Structure 1
């Protein structure tokens, strides 16, 4: 037999003392929150720089189009066949320009897709979202469906798509099956670039040659890593990736410059015993390796879940061993 709800008065004689405990409501927290200043977003200003660049670009395109039109008309007045040749060349140039624009847009959209996959994976891991993890794996399979090295991994992932798996386990399986081989390729590319930079800067006679080759190697390494993980950056896409890589490098500690990085990696006193040119080569190689690791983190479509995050020793251990052997 269930008991019906009843009301009691606290001062009633039949209410036992101590049976009812009355606590005060936490009004102190509410009053403290009332005095809190709510931060307001700053007022957005008009993007005058962007407007200026857009207007100048429009004027330049109009002037160029008018100049081409006048050239075609003048050539047609001189000889009709010259006008037709100029018109055909103009159409060919327009088609090539549209193809370049399309490639740039496609590369940027592909990079944005990889970035969104990585951000979505981070969010799914944070809240253990099974549905989001399944969608991320499907997008990864679509991204790498043309890779011959991912055929076996894709088949195993497709076989497990309907199984009930935790979000982190599902993403870890995708990481192992699809990204682990790509991580190995990326680490080999970083190690090769670091060794090449170290060798060239150790034997080059001029500092300007060192700087030029380091920049060239960094550009080539970033493009290589982007292609390994499925990106196809054009000019603007590459600049966007480079900015993201340098931002990541700054957040994770920045590029160590000078002898401090060598002292940190090679050990105290060792950098003083190697020759100056060899030490400079090792330092440039280690800086290239650090930039490569930052670029790897930016280009990878998933964060490191179960796979070990690569470190400098994994991609530049040979440089350290070489410097240690030279110092003995």
Structure 2
């Protein structure tokens, strides 16, 4: 019999431990849980990246800057110039004929009304994107702090966001019944994500897949590199707008610019994380495909980059973070790109002696 004292059973609540203590406990008591903890840390990093990109694109407060002052001044001068030109035009029409003057005045009024309507629509689209970004941040905070009242309030806003979507009627009705019954905020948010988001996530992933296929095909058969660049840029902007519409945003011209800035910020922030998502392997696959056909390799790489833009748009435009649902990666939305690279690599291996 050994005289060494046996360790007594210990019980801990992981949420009561500091992050460093929690990690040490998992490594000491549950070595098999290290991978789960690492996945949790990666998920937190992805969420921080999404919130930072939203802050840069949608939640940025107006502040003084020389660039902003220059644009405001030029915009004011352009507005004054347009007003003076319009006034002179109407006066000259009245000088020729009262009928022509009245007609010109009516057309000028319609033009001003259309301009005001376009400006109002742009402002509403910007406010809607800002509302979605704030909802995303609030739901993440409610889930992290287990704030029941905040969770109930924001789940109500989430359901109201999709009240015009018939495909979400069943999920919204179910959430309305559960909002007051479920006490735990995390459970309520997880149920809302599992009920409302899968259909929207699937639609966004289908859009990314179809766009990536189209880009890779056109890039593979296009005779000019300039055509590739123009087509890829146009399809990327279209993809960003389409994903925003799927998740409830309706970006106009200015809203699309802010949205593109947010997606670009997310791509810059998550550039290192993308290497673990299969992008490095895909670049290697591009090199293998290029040995067979340079155009095929360019098509695969352009399709991969387009898919990455779509995934960033998903993270930025989604009204709630990925919590209970798995965040999709490149292999989830565009597996055909990896299979093509693998087939190309196999072909290269077969040709080698």
Interval containing the TM-score (normalised by the shorter chain): 0.7 to 0.9
Alignment check: 8 A CA contact 1:255 1:290 kept: no
Deviation at 1:74, TM superposition (A): 1.3
Q: Distance in 1 between matches of 2:214 and 2:69?
A: 44
In structure 2, the partner of 1:182 is 200
- Which stretch shows the higher mean deviation, 237-246 or 161-170? 161-170
Alignment check: 8 A CA contact 1:193 1:221 kept: yes
Deviation at 1:52, TM superposition (A): 3.5
Within the candidate set 203, 220, 236, 1:202 is matched to: 220
Between structures 1 and 2, the one with greater helix share:
2
Q: Distance in 2 between matches of 1:277 and 1:164?
A: 55
Alignment check: 8 A CA contact 1:198 1:285 kept: yes
Q: How many residues in Structure 1 have an aligned counterpart in Structure 2? A: 282
Q: Distance in 2 between matches of 1:214 and 1:277?
A: 14
Deviation per CA, 1:110-137: give whole Å up to 9, x if none. 0000000011112112211111111110
Within the candidate set 135, 147, 163, 1:129 is matched to: 147
Within the candidate set 50, 59, 63, 2:77 is matched to: 59
Q: Distance in 2 between matches of 1:74 and 1:267?
A: 67
RMSD: 2.2
Alignment check: 8 A CA contact 2:219 2:228 kept: yes
Asked whether 1:212 is paired with 2:230, we answer: yes
Q: Distance in 2 between matches of 1:265 and 1:177?
A: 36
- Which stretch shows the higher mean deviation, 154-163 or 266-275? 266-275
Larger radius of gyration: 1
Alignment check: 8 A CA contact 2:240 2:260 kept: yes
- Which stretch shows the higher mean deviation, 55-64 or 235-244? 55-64
Deviation at 1:315, TM superposition (A): 1.1
Alignment check: 8 A CA contact 1:201 1:280 kept: yes
Asked whether 1:74 is paired with 2:92, we answer: yes
Flag as ranges the 4+ runs of structure 1 deviating above 3 A.
45-49, 254-257, 260-274
Q: Distance in 1 between matches of 2:74 and 2:112?
A: 20
Q: 1:294 to 1:177 in 2, by over 3 A?
A: same
Q: Secondary structure in 1 aligned to 2:102?
A: helix
Q: Distance in 2 between matches of 1:284 and 1:100?
A: 34
Unaligned runs of 5+ in 1: 1-44
Alignment check: 8 A CA contact 1:118 1:303 kept: yes
Within the candidate set 201, 213, 229, 2:247 is matched to: 229
Unaligned runs of 5+ in 2: 1-62, 348-353
TM-score by length of 1: 0.81
Matches within 5 A, 1:283-302: 283-302=301-320
Asked whether 1:90 is paired with 2:116, we answer: no
Q: Per chain length, whose mean CA-contact separation is higher, i.e. which structure has more relative contact order (CA < 8 Å, sep 6+)?
A: 2
Q: 1:246 to 1:49 in 2, by over 3 A?
A: closer
Q: 1:146 to 1:256 in 2, by over 3 A?
A: closer
Q: Secondary structure in 1 aligned to 2:271?
A: coil
Q: Distance in 1 between matches of 2:138 and 2:77?
A: 41
In structure 2, the partner of 1:16 is none
Q: 1:181 to 1:234 in 2, by over 3 A?
A: same
Deviation per CA, 1:134-179: give whole Å up to 9, x if none. 1110000110001011001011101101113311111111111111
Deviation at 1:271, TM superposition (A): 4.0
Q: 1:269 to 1:73 in 2, by over 3 A?
A: closer
TM-score by length of 2: 0.75
Q: Secondary structure in 2 aligned to 1:179?
A: helix
Q: Secondary structure in 1 aligned to 2:328?
A: coil
Q: 1:256 to 1:158 in 2, by over 3 A?
A: closer
Deviation at 1:272, TM superposition (A): 5.5
